Amino acid sequence: MKIGIVCPYDWDVPGGVQFHIRDLAEHLIRLGHEVSVLAPAEDEEALPPYVVSAGRAVAVPYNGSVARLSFGILSAARVRRWLHDGRFDILHVHEPASPSLSMLAAWSASGPMVGTFHTSNPRSRAMIAASPILQPGLEKMSARIAVSEYARRTLVEHLGGDAVVIPNGVDVRFFADAEPDPRWQGHALDGSPGTIGFIGRINEPRKGLPTLLAALPRILAERPGVRLLVAGKGDQEEAVQGLAPEVRAQVEFLGMVSDEEKARLLRSVDLYVAPNTGGESFGIILVEAMSAGAPVLASDLDAFRQVLDGGDAGELFPIEDAQALAQSAVKLLGNPQRLGELREAAAKHVRRFDWETVGADILSVYETVTDGRPPVADVEPTGWRGRLGLGS
């Protein structure tokens, strides 16, 4: 099958949607399918062979964050050229409700089309206001996928229609087979203070690092010597401003890490903390941590609660409550039996997120919508020219 996948976000700036698309593409390629991914990207030399650059992205505020998207007349022309050259059996667009390549592709294409919705935003006035612009593209879709019940609910309440829920996928074995790194181990099971892990963009408030840093003095008061390992992009000095020197000394910033380093980090820490404050529709990092055998302590977001099987596969604390986070972290790090129980429960639960399962579900959707239909084609540009305010 010839499969075209559209990534809305800048390929040069890693994120959950990009990782999902990358892993899906590589899974499909391993199965023998021909896959092309169109994405905004500036560094074309660093792209995998299956990714086609649609040019540079620009920063746009979106869903409580800043997304790097590509949109406009030049992007639309690149989308149509890619569609014309690809002659795909199916087109799979991600986040078609964002002002991005995905929206342009939905406007420009005809034929078998699947949309995947990642965003969870229960009160998006912008999405409601943009509904008339979005509907022509959404109505062309043969099937819709949501990565969680909360992403599905956002779609239903803001744009109408419905979607089948298929979660994000993870290569469980990749994380489970990673070798721990002695530099990042704390050995809380053997009585040492232990290490806590955090992975995310440092300066993005909704990732919650300030809540974790606010909890750290309380954790250190009960377990002196605990180390907090922080991996991700951002201003490190700004992040630790206001912390006492003895607390700052226990925070180690690792910067951006490779996939292999991330897996080794998650295999090494005694506890992974996800203190996110909102805007999450799934929680791929939780699945990666569970796959690596890291017990998870996460803020009680609806999406996180679902990923953690209602709290059976990881523990939850009230959102932005640093004191509750500290109490839970201290209790867990001092209870080897509970840490072991969480690891065991997580190892069973993550099987439903493995790409062997998730990939088969997505392929089943593809096969349903392509059955007997002609391949994807690009349509005349009048439609999207008008929607961009460029006339015919």
Query: For the residues of 234-265, what is the DSSP string, one character each?
Result: S-HHHHTTTS-HHHHTTEEEEES--HHHHHHH
Q: Give the strand pairing for 164-165 and 143-146.
A: parallel
pLDDT of the chain, 392 residues: tens digit per residue? 999 999 999 998 878 899 999 999 999 999 999 999 999 998 888 899 999 999 888 776 655 566 677 777 888 899 999 999 999 999 999 999 888 899 999 999 999 999 999 987 766 665 555 666 777 778 899 999 999 998 899 888 888 889 999 999 999 999 999 999 999 998 666 668 899 999 999 999 999 999 999 999 999 999 999 999 999 999 999 999 999 999 999 999 999 999 999 999 999 999 999 999 988 888 999 999 999 999 999 999 998 999 999 999 999 999 999 999 999 999 999 999 999 999 999 999 999 999 999 999 999 999 999 988 899 987 655 455 555 544 44
Buried b (16+ CB within 10 A) or exposed e, 303-333: bbbbbbbeeebbbbbebbbbebbbbbbbebb
Give the CA radius of gyration of the chain.
22
- Say whether 140 sits in a helix, a strand or coil: coil
Contact between 65 and 279 under an 8 Å Cβ cutoff? The reply is: yes
Which candidate, 303, 276, 308, 310, places its Cα nearest to that of 289?
A: 308
Say what the pLDDT of residue 117 is: 93
Q: Which fold has domain 2-169+354-387?
A: Rossmann fold (3.40.50)
Which candidate, 291, 311, 289, places its Cα nearest to that of 300?
A: 311
Say what the pLDDT of residue 127 is: 59
CA 146 to chain centre: 13
- Say whether 310 sits in a helix, a strand or coil: helix
- Cα(13)–Cα(22) distance, integer angstroms: 13
Q: Which fold has domain 172-352?
A: Rossmann fold (3.40.50)
Is this model's pTM higher than 0.85 or not?
no
**Same fold flag, 2-169+354-387 and 172-352:** yes
Say what the pLDDT of residue 192 is: 81
- Cα(378)–Cα(77) distance, integer angstroms: 11
| Domain locations along the chain | 2-169+354-387, 172-352
Say what the pLDDT of residue 191 is: 65
Question: Which secondary-structure segment (H or E) carries 291?
Answer: helix 284-291
- Cα(141)–Cα(44) distance, integer angstroms: 30
